[in-house]
């Protein structure tokens, strides 16, 4: 699926709140059929988390 699960979104947002400086995608994700969509979703989640002001 090209959409992340709720668990994946929550985990990513939690890592952002903990101060993660970067993320690495596995070869399977980065080179798979939905690699660009995965990066786009990550960006959306990260930006939304940063805008929310949640720590």
Least Cα distance to 38 among 47, 46, 27, 29 occurs for 29
Whole-number pLDDT of residue 53: 81
Tokens encoding 17? 């709140």
pTM: 0.84
5-52 pLDDT, tens digit per residue, is 999 999 999 999 999 999 999 998 888 899 999 999 999 999 999 999
For tokens 């939905």, what's the residue? 34
Domain coordinates of the chain in residue numbers? Answer: 6-52
Instruction: List the end-to-end C-alpha distance of the chain, in Å, as a whole number.
Output: 29
């Amino acid at each position: 699926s090209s959409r992340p699960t709720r668990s994946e979104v929550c985990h990513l947002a939690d890592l952002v709140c903990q101060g993660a400086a970067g993320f690495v995608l596995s070869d399977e994700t980065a080179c798979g059929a939905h690699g660009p969509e995965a990066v786009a979703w990550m960006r959306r989640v990260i930006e939304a988390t940063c805008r929310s002001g949640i720590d």
